[in-house]
């Protein structure tokens, strides 16, 4: 009789303790030093709380007392400049204890150091990569229009959206395809088999075979213990290759059937990619009875030997297993994208995206016939613009009350109508204007002509020297940034925003005084007639007006 | 049987060639050719040169060029340019390909070609595609081609339409009526039509797209469809009969063309067929006796018509052409139907007798093989059936079904099959064999008699094609050895050439693994294939490769049963578990839907970086139709030499025939057949110059000169003496090295001037000299 022994090692759910060193003194007090996954802590003897606790991220470096010194110590220097010293006081093993702790810290600290510096590096990188941002930083922060924190507060939050995304849904770890192989039974010497199960493997089994999970939920713990469940699992034919002989008393026979069903439904669902669809591969023209290939006989399956049957069962099972493993890995990744497509369809956008996305078949065909290397460089891969609301994109933020704007469908329709008209367009050659009239009209419409006088736009390029132009550009970006901060405060709903809006207003004024004025004076000195800063001033004025309005309203409410 | 209208033509193309504005303008031997890309491969230029010579000589050609070197676009560019330059010499391009995706690819290439070429609005082109599932237009609910055919016929047959005239309540097909009324007069607007476009066009106009396509095929400049429409006499008669003689016919992916030819002329008859035929005969008998009571005049009229041999006068109606003759046009007798089967009852009686005879023949306990004349002699002795009435069977049945006004012809497939067999067996005395097997070889206890009437000579079916069209081009990536195709298809080509792939880096790495690490020879030879050591070594090879090859690996076995056995013993030995640590495993099954799913999952696994292994079968569907580009196939492993199952009697008969008629030794043919399939399998992984992949031939027999020499030149070239008999370890080392090198970035500049040319580079003198060496005349 075989018996099956199962060991389930549970990983500790609480904080993981990597190292415990007893008899460590700190400030002349005996205690215990704990090295945990993210922090180092020390608690005095006999108390169950830590009096010293440092995150690894806060630690700048560790120092140790030189060999040969009487006191064996380890000092931690924090980023803030403070330091903590531990004294290893266990006479016999002090040196060894210290070295073990040191080694471990040595491994741990660099990991966290990166994390701490990451933010700074990130800022640095952003400034280096983006010259516009760097200019802005110089204009606003270096000249102390706004503080560095304010400047970054907004920037990093933009970035951290991506960060938080990647941090929150950490990339799902896939399942090893060979997880069943990892539970190879070991004979334990007395005619028994021993399976080692870890939580990871159980997790893998559950994720790959949801039916087993379901069985587990049904039966454990009311009908049987966990151990019993797994014992049965390994005894079951379900787990073994000759799955075709599942007995009725086996609780997993149902699972096998479910699997079969799942496989069938997968098959009947068919494939999305037409290039791998073997069913439609052939333009099948041979009728039944023609051709040299032998006709598959109906009695075929029944006269197959048992061995052949079990062989094909293995093949089926492998396909199913691989598909399930693959699906388990993808399930998590697919979920959000499903959601996204749902939301997009609810906001009436799906039609647009359908319109612009070529069907899968076309894409696959295109891929199949493309020769990248024959193509010249001119062909550059374009990224398709994925719009949530394409109407908004093509019209800009128009106030909503103006009801009469056309949908993209209208536009497409009208384009096609115009195209259609253009195709059938025939010039009525008898009723055209005389050539002299036409040529005079063309002259009038040419640059320098009567109708083109107002076009001063082009000349500004030549009128204004380049250094002034670039300065103006900087001013624009700086003003734009400040105004963005300003406008982002509205509607002012929290006290924090109130504070910010006031500060921003003063920032704007400061900007006008320290940056804009000198520039205006400079222009005046150079006798440039055109009013280059008019628009900037208008923008600032608009902000001031808004601020005024908001302030008066607030006053009114207060009184 | 119903001719396969249901899978009718794929694409037809009209071009009125006019002004082309193109990226590259090439001078191919004095012909101005427009090429829709900025660059060109040297071998494409060479290929076009050879093609031009073939067209100039108005002869046939056999051209081998590896896939992924832009064969199709070269063909199209040159032939279209030729058409434009000599509109009287070449009027039409008929492009035949094998699988549906292949056909669609060609179609899309045409699309690229045209859109890149034309700016001028005067340019008028029209391409068309057709598929008779377009009949779905009117019968959306019917799923099967056959049913659609039957339904269609019941609405469009000439007598139905005649009845409609007198009795408007008789339903007819509006789409056909509309087409018949105006469709032929109104020219189809020039353009490119694929299947869907044509359906669309038909829907807009209210014309039946099926008949529209059949009509349009005659006027199109380019027609793209499947082999069968040209090779299968049953379909070719309907579809391709009136194609102009001055057409250029291209058979792409033609490495299996002999099998297509043979399939189209072969018939299998089982007991089930005979049973169904029996019911058909009874139905016919009942209908005849019923009609005799009500409308005897009709039968008399048919009789007199047959006496006069005027059947053809009536046949011209296109909608009645649902049954066609299974034999080739020049074999059909142009005389009156013999008296013994002229009356309907006599014919039915005749069929009954024939049927009984066949039943008796199937009631045997040992295998019988005989030739057609032997069969005819026997049938004359036993049931006194002459050769001549047998030859008219197909024609006579067609006439009868029409006379009886049986609208739903779908049920009569069994009797049609029998009548076709009768006509074939009495028409051809050579090139065919009859084999009656009482049971399958593997299951000798279960009686399942089958009569195989199998064609052994592919040249019979393809002969009219070579005879009729001025140029027929046979091309594929794997046609080696080139001289065998002209021999088995019995034609005299003017050009026979094989082109290599010019490469800036050797992106293919063929390796022959002959031994395991334990020095035991690896081979799938029949005697040793069950050997434990061989199976284990095969397993170890796959395991080692799975550890070093990124993304996808495709492995081919010689047969399905062999794969099943190996997989089972790998499972028992725990090899598969170890492989699973590296990659997911997917396995081809005999069920196409299941395999499609496995394939898709396989691609998914390659796509998301997990990597996967696909175990598949040479000669299977995957090996024939699925490409494993780039990361979908970084290594192909061919386990064993894929010889065909040599114990099959049909194959033995064919081998004998080849030996006697064409002086091709059995072994030569078998090796040729095995090597073309092996080359097909390993070639699946390399689909272009930017692609790369390992090709591992895991059998020591590949190292022999007679096998190696039959591989295509573009593979042979890279097979060095050092890689002929490797152990697994050596293979792994070489593979690692190769993969590491290939994984380096590969830019266009690296290729330029070597395997990729600009116009200036192409025109330089020494490049032209180099190009001249690319083509190797066989």
Is residue B378 classed exposed, middle or buried when 0-12, 13-18 and 19+ CB atoms within 10 A define those classes?
A: middle
- At residue B433, φ and ψ (nearest 5 deg) are -140, 155
Query: Do residues B103 and B222 both lie within one domain?
Result: yes
| Residue B339 · residue B306 · CB < 8 Å | no
Is B386 domain-assigned?
Answer: yes
Q: Do A282 and B612 touch (CB under 8 A)?
A: no
CA distance B700 to B521: 7
Q: Is B688 on the interface with A (CB under 8 A)?
A: yes
Residue B492, classified by CB atoms within 10 Å of its CB into exposed (0-12), middle (13-18) or buried (19+), is: exposed
Q: Which of B752, B765, B98 is nearest to B477 (CA)?
A: B98
Handedness of CA B760, B763, B766, B772 (dihedral sign): positive
Counted domains in chain B = 3
User: In the beta sheet, which residues pair with residue B452?
Assistant: B268, B435
Q: What is the mean pLDDT of chain A?
A: 72
Task: Out of A285-289, A367-371, B172-176, B412-416, pick the least confident.
Answer: A285-289
Contact B228 A376 (CB under 8 A): no
Q: Residue B618's pLDDT is what?
A: 92
Res A117: pLDDT: 65
Contact B224, B15 (CB under 8 A): no
Rounded Cα–Cα distance for residues B356 and B349 (Å): 11
pLDDT of residue A359 exceeding 70, the answer is: no
Flag the least confident range among A452-456, B3-7, B390-394.
B3-7
Report the CATH number of the A17-116 domain. Answer: 2.30.29.30
- In the three-class reduction of DSSP (H, G, I as helix; E, B as strand; rest coil), residue B441 is classed as coil
Rounded to the nearest angstrom, the gap between the alpha carbon of residue B537 and the centroid of all alpha carbons in its chain is 36
Instruction: Give residue for tokens 């040529």.
Output: A439
**Same domain, residue pair B397 and B513:** no
Residue B587 and residue B625 in one domain: yes
| Lowest model confidence (mean pLDDT) among A247-261, A451-465, B649-663 | A451-465
Structure tokens at A124: 């640095």
Task: Check A287 against B689: CB less than 8 A apart.
Answer: no
- Confidence grade of residue B482 (pLDDT, cut at 50, 70, 90): confident
Least confident of A144-153, A398-407, B582-591: A398-407
Tokens of B740: 């590491």
Q: How confident is the model at residue B314 (pLDDT cuts 50, 70, 90)?
A: very low
Residue A377, min C-alpha distance to chain B (Å):
9
Q: Indicate which CATH number applies to the domain containing B543.
A: 3.40.50.300
- Interchain contact B715–A (C-beta under 8 A): no
Are A290 and B4 inside 8 Å of each other by CB? no
Note whether A433 contacts B: Cβ–Cβ < 8 A: no
Shortest alpha-carbon distance between residue A22 and chain B (Å)? 42
Q: What is the pLDDT of residue B133?
A: 33
Per the prediction, chain B carries an average pLDDT of 82
Q: Assess A323–B contact: CB distance below 8 Å, yes or no.
A: yes
Confidence band for B555, pLDDT divided at 50, 70 and 90: very high
**Cα separation of B469 and B248, whole Å?**
7
Q: Which of these three, B460, B491, B524, is where a domain ends?
A: B460
Q: How far apart are CA A136 and CA B757, in angstroms?
A: 48
Kindly report the backbone phi and psi dihedral angles of residue B674, in degrees, each rounded to the nearest multiple of 5, phi listed first.
-65, -40
pLDDT-derived band at B553 (thresholds 50, 70, 90) equals: very high
Please tell me whether residues B212 and B307 are part of one structural domain.
no
**Residue A294 in tokens:** 């032998």
Report residue A340's pLDDT band, with 50, 70 and 90 as the boundaries. Answer: very low
The answer to whether residue B449 sits within a structural domain is yes
| pLDDT of A142 | 74
Q: Give the pair of three-digit tokens for residue B743.
A: 């994984």
Distance CA B90, CA A65 (A): 95
A337 pLDDT tier (thresholds 50, 70, 90): very low
d(Cα A333, Cα A330) in Å, to the nearest integer? 5
More confident residue, A386 or A321: A321
Is A373's CB within 8 Å of B756's CB? Answer: yes
B427 and B495 belong to one structural domain: no
Residue B452 falls inside a structural domain:
yes
pLDDT at A296 > cutoff 50: no
Is B491 in the same domain as B412?
no
Among the partner residues B583, B598, B650, nearest to A292 by beta-carbon distance: B650
User: What does the pLDDT average to over B552-568?
Assistant: 92
B422 has a chain A CB within 8 A of its CB? no
Q: Do B581 and A178 touch (CB under 8 A)?
A: yes
Q: Give me the domain span that covers residue B534.
A: 508-745
Report yes or no on B162 lying in a domain. yes
Instruction: Say how far residue B51 (Cα) sits from the centre of its chain.
Output: 22
3-state SS, residue B572: helix
Query: Are B187 and B83 part of one and the same domain?
Result: yes
Task: Please tell me whether residue B663 adopts helix, strand or coil conformation.
Answer: coil
Domain boundaries, chain A: 17-116, 186-245+252-269, 464-558
pLDDT score, position B360: 92
Please indicate if any CB of chain A lies within 8 Å of the CB of B122: no
Cα–Cα distance measured from residue B587 to residue B605, given in angstroms and rounded to the nearest whole number? 14
Measured between CB atoms, which of A284, A307, A322 is closest to B601?
Answer: A322
Q: Which of A197, A192, A191 is nearest to A216 (CA)?
A: A197
Nearest CB to B689; choose among A270, A273, A373: A373
Residue B763 within a domain: no
> What residues contact A231, with CB distance under 8 A and at least 6 apart?
A4, A6
Query: Which of B585, B588, B633 should we substitute to test contact with A (largest number of A Cβ atoms within 10 Å)?
Result: B585
Query: For the ranges A70-74, A303-307, A478-482, B176-180, which has the lowest average pLDDT?
Result: A303-307
- Which residue, of B439, B470, B499, is where some domain finishes? B499
C-alpha distance from B705 to closest chain A C-alpha (Å): 32
Residue pair B724/B711 in contact (Cβ under 8 Å)? The answer is no
Query: Looking at chain B, which residue has its C-alpha nearest residue A180?
Result: B577
Give the ranges where A169-209 is alpha helix by DSSP (H). Answer: 179-182, 199-208
Residues B695/B553, Cβ–Cβ less than 8 Å:
no
Compute how many other C-beta atoms are within 10 angstroms of the C-beta atom of residue A547.
19
Q: Which residue has the higher pLDDT, A453 or B693?
A: B693
Q: Which of residues 7-36 of B touch A (CB under 8 A)?
A: 7, 10, 23
Whether residue A120 lies within 8 A of chain B, CB to CB, comes out as no
ipTM value: 0.82
Q: pLDDT confidence of B242, banded at 50, 70, 90?
A: confident
In this complex, is the C-beta atom of B591 within 8 Å of any C-beta atom belonging to chain A? Answer: yes
**A contact test, residue of B101, B415, B445, B503 with most A CBs within 10 A:** B101
Q: Are B582 and A303 in contact (CB under 8 A)?
A: no
Assigned domain for B440 exists: yes
Give yes or no: residues B209 and B305 share one domain: no
Query: Residue A517: in which H helix or E strand, if any?
Result: helix A517-525
All residues of chain B having their beta carbon less than 8 Å from the beta carbon of residue A325 are: 584
The answer to whether the Cβ–Cβ distance between B600 and A316 falls below 8 Å is: no
Query: Quick one: pLDDT at residue B554?
Result: 95
| CA angle at B345 for the pair B341 and B350, rounded to the nearest 5° | 50
Of B149 and B359, the one with more pLDDT: B359
Of A190-194, A442-446, A508-512, B654-658, the range with the lowest mean pLDDT is A190-194
Q: What percent of chain B has pLDDT over 70?
A: 86
Residue in chain A nearest B449 by alpha carbon: A297
DSSP B5: G
Phi, psi of B35 (to 5 degrees): -125, 125
In this structure, are residues A192 and A4 in contact, taking their beta carbons and an 8 Å threshold? Answer: yes
> What value does the mean pLDDT take over residues B746-755?
82
Identify whether the C-beta of residue B726 lies closer than 8 Å to the C-beta of residue B512: yes
* Residue B333 exposed, middle or buried by CB count within 10 Å (0-12, 13-18, 19+): middle
Average pLDDT over residues B238-243: 74
Asked if residue B737 and residue B639 are part of one domain, the reply reads: yes
Give the largest CA-CA distance in chain B. 86
Same domain, B116 and B149: yes
So what's the pLDDT on residue A154? 64
CB contact under 8 A, B226 and A283: yes
Lowest mean pLDDT among A197-206, B447-456, B675-684: A197-206
Shortest Cα–Cα distance, B542 to chain A (Å):
16
What is the rounded distance in angstroms from the CA atom of residue B563 to the CA atom of residue B568? 8
C-alpha to C-alpha distance for A355 and B7, rounded to whole angstroms:
31
Q: Are residues B231 and B342 in the same domain?
A: no
Contact B40 A326 (CB under 8 A): no
For residue B613, name the pLDDT band (cuts at 50, 70, 90).
very high
d(CA A247, CA A305): 20
pTM (two decimals):
0.71
Q: Is B343 on the interface with A (CB under 8 A)?
A: no
Beta strands in B413-502 (DSSP E): 432-439, 447-455, 471-476, 493-499
Element (H, E) at B777: strand B775-777
The single residue listed with the structure tokens 């051209």 is B63
Instruction: Give me the phi and psi of B754, to 5 degrees please.
Output: -105, -65
Q: Is A107 touching B (CB cutoff 8 A)?
A: no
Q: Which two structure tokens, joined as six digits, stand for B664?
A: 């091709």
pLDDT the model gives residue B405:
75
Mutation test of the interface with chain B: which of A201, A261, A279, A282, choosing the one with the most B Cβ atoms within 10 A?
Answer: A282
A and B: number of Cβ contacts within 8 A: 238
pLDDT of res. A97: 83
The answer to whether the CB atoms of B592 and A288 lie below 8 A apart is no
Same domain, B235 and B279: no
**A285, A293, A295 ranked by CB distance to B235: nearest:** A285
């Amino acid at each position: 009789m075989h018996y099956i022994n199962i060991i389930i090692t549970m990983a500790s759910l609480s904080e993981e303790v990597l190292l415990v060193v007893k008899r460590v003194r700190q400030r002349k007090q005996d205690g215990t030093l704990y090295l945990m996954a993210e922090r180092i802590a020390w608690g005095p003897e006999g108390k169950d709380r830590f009096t010293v606790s440092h995150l690894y991220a806060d630690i700048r470096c560790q120092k140790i007392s030189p060999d040969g010194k009487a006191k064996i110590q380890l000092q931690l220097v924090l980023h803030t400049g403070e330091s903590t010293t531990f004294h290893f006081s266990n006479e016999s093993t002090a040196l060894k204890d210290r070295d073990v702790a040191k080694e471990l810290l040595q491994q741990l600290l660099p990991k966290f150091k990166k994390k701490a510096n990451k933010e700074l590096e990130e800022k640095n990188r952003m400034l280096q990569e983006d010259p516009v941002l760097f200019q802005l930083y110089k204009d606003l922060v270096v000249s102390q229009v706004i503080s560095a924190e304010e400047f970054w507060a907004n920037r990093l939050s933009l970035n951290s959206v991506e960060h938080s995304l990647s941090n929150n849904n950490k990339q799902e770890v896939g399942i090893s395809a060979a997880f069943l192989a990892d539970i190879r039974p070991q004979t334990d010497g007395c005619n028994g088999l021993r399976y080692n199960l870890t939580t990871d493997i159980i997790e893998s089994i559950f994720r790959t075979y949801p039916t087993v999970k379901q069985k587990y939920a049904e039966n454990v713990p009311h009908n049987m213990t966990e151990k019993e469940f797994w014992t049965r699992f390994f005894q079951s034919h379900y787990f073994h290759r000759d799955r075709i002989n599942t007995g009725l008393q086996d609780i997993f026979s149902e699972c096998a059937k479910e699997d079969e069903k799942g496989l069938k439904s997968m098959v009947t669902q068919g494939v999305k990619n037409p290039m791998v669809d073997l069913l439609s591969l052939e333009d099948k023209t041979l009728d039944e009875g023609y051709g040299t290939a032998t006709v598959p006989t109906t009695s075929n399956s029944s006269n197959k030997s048992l061995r052949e049957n079990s062989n094909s069962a293995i093949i089926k099972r492998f396909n199913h297993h691989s598909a399930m493993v693959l699906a388990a890995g993808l399930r998590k990744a697919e979920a959000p994208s499903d959601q996204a497509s749902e939301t997009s369809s609810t906001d009436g956008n799906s039609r647009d995206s359908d319109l612009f996305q070529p069907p899968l078949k076309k894409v696959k065909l295109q891929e199949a016939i493309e020769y990248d290397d024959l193509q010249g460089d001119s062909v550059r891969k374009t990224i398709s613009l994925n719009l949530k609301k394409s109407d908004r994109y093509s019209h800009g933020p128009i106030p909503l009350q103006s009801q009469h704007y056309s949908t993209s469908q209208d536009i497409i329709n009208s384009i096609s109508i115009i195209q259609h008209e253009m195709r059938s367009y025939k010039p009525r050659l008898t009723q055209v204007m005389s050539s002299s009239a036409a040529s005079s009209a063309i002259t009038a419409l040419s640059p320098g002509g009567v109708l083109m006088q107002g076009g001063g736009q082009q000349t500004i390029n030549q009128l204004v020297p380049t250094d002034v132009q670039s300065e103006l550009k900087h001013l624009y970006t700086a003003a734009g940034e400040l105004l963005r901060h300003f406008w982002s405060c509205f509607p002012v709903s929290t006290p924090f925003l109130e504070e910010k809006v006031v500060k921003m207003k003063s920032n704007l004024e400061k900007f006008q005084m320290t940056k804009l004025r000198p520039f205006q004076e400079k222009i005046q000195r150079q006798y440039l007639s055109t009013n280059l800063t008019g628009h900037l001033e208008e923008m600032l004025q608009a902000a001031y007006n808004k601020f005024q309005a908001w302030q008066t309203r607030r006053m009114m409410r207060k009184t | 049987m119903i001719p396969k209208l249901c899978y009718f033509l794929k694409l037809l193309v009209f071009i009125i060639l006019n002004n082309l504005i193109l990226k590259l303008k090439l001078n191919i031997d004095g012909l101005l050719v427009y090429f829709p890309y900025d660059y060109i491969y040297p071998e494409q230029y060479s290929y076009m040169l050879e093609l031009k010579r073939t067209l100039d000589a108005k002869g046939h050609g056999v051209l081998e060029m590896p896939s992924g070197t832009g064969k199709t676009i070269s063909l199209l560019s040159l032939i279209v340019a030729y058409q434009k330059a000599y509109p009287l010499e070449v009027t039409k391009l008929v492009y035949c390909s094998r699988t549906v995706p292949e056909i669609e690819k060609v179609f899309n290439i045409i699309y690229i070609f045209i859109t890149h070429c034309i700016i001028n609005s005067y340019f008028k082109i029209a391409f068309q595609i057709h598929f008779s599932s377009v009949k779905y237009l009117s019968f959306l609910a019917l799923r099967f081609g056959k049913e659609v055919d039957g339904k269609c016929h019941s609405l469009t047959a000439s007598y139905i339409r005649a009845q409609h005239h007198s009795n408007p309540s008789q339903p007819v097909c509006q789409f056909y009526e509309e087409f018949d009324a105006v469709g032929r007069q109104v020219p189809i607007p020039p353009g490119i039509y694929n299947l869907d476009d044509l359906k669309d066009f038909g829907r807009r106009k209210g014309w039946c797209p099926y008949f529209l396509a059949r009509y349009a095929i005659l006027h199109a400049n380019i027609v793209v469809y499947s082999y069968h429409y040209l090779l299968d006499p049953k379909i070719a008669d309907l579809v391709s009969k009136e194609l102009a003689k001055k057409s250029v016919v291209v058979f792409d992916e033609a490495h299996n063309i002999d099998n297509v030819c043979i399939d189209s002329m072969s018939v299998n008859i089982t007991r089930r067929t005979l049973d169904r035929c029996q019911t058909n005969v009874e139905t016919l008998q009942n209908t005849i006796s019923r009609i005799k009571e009500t409308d005897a005049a009709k039968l008399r009229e048919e009789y007199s018509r047959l006496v006069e041999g005027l059947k053809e006068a009536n046949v011209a109606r296109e909608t009645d052409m649902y049954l066609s003759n299974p034999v080739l046009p020049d074999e059909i007798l142009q005389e009156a139907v013999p008296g013994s089967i002229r009356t309907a009852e006599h014919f039915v009686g005749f069929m009954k007798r024939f049927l009984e005879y066949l039943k008796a023949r199937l009631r045997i306990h040992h295998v019988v093989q005989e030739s057609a004349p032997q069969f005819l002699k026997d049938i004359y002795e036993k049931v006194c059936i002459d050769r001549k009435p047998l030859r008219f069977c197909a024609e006579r049945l067609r006439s009868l079904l029409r006379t009886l006004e049986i609208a739903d012809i779908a049920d009569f497939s069994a009797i049609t099959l029998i009548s076709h067999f009768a006509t074939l067996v009495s028409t051809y005395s050579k090139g065919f064999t009859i084999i009656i097997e009482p049971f399958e070889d593997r299951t000798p206890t279960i009686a399942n008699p089958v009569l195989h009437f199998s064609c052994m000579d592919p040249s019979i079916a393809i002969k009219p094609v070579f005879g009729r069209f001025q140029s027929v081009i046979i091309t594929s990536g794997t046609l080696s050895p080139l001289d065998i195709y002209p021999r088995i298809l019995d034609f005299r080509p003017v050009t026979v050439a094989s082109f290599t792939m010019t490469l800036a880096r050797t992106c293919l790495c063929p390796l022959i693994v002959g031994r395991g690490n334990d020095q035991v020879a690896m081979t799938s030879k029949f005697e040793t294939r069950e050997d434990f050591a061989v199976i284990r070594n095969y397993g170890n090879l796959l395991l080692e490769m799975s550890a070093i090859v990124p993304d996808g690996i495709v492995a081919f076995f010689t047969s399905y049963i062999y794969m099943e056995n190996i997989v089972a013993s790998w499972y028992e030995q725990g090899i598969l578990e170890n492989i699973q640590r590296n990659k997911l495993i997917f396995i081809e099954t005999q069920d196409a839907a299941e395999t499609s799913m496995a394939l898709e999952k396989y691609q998914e696994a390659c796509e998301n970086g997990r990597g996967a292994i696909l175990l598949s079968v040479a000669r299977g569907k995957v090996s024939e139709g699925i490409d494993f580009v780039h990361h979908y196939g970084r290594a192909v492993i061919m386990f064993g030499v894929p010889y065909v199952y040599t114990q099959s009697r049909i194959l033995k008969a064919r081998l004998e025939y080849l030996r006697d008629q064409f002086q091709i030794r059995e072994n030569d043919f078998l090796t040729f057949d095995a090597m073309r399939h092996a080359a097909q399998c390993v070639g699946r992984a390399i689909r272009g110059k930017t692609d790369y992949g390992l090709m591992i031939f895991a059998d020591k027999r590949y190292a022999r000169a007679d096998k190696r020499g039959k591989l295509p030149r573009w593979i042979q070239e890279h097979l060095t003496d050092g890689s002929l008999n490797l152990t697994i370890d050596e293979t792994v080392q070489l593979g690692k090295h190769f993969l590491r090198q290939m994984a380096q970035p590969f830019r266009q500049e690296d290729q330029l001037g070597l395997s990729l040319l600009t116009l200036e580079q192409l025109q330089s003198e020494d490049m032209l000299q180099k190009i001249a060496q690319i083509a190797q005349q066989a």
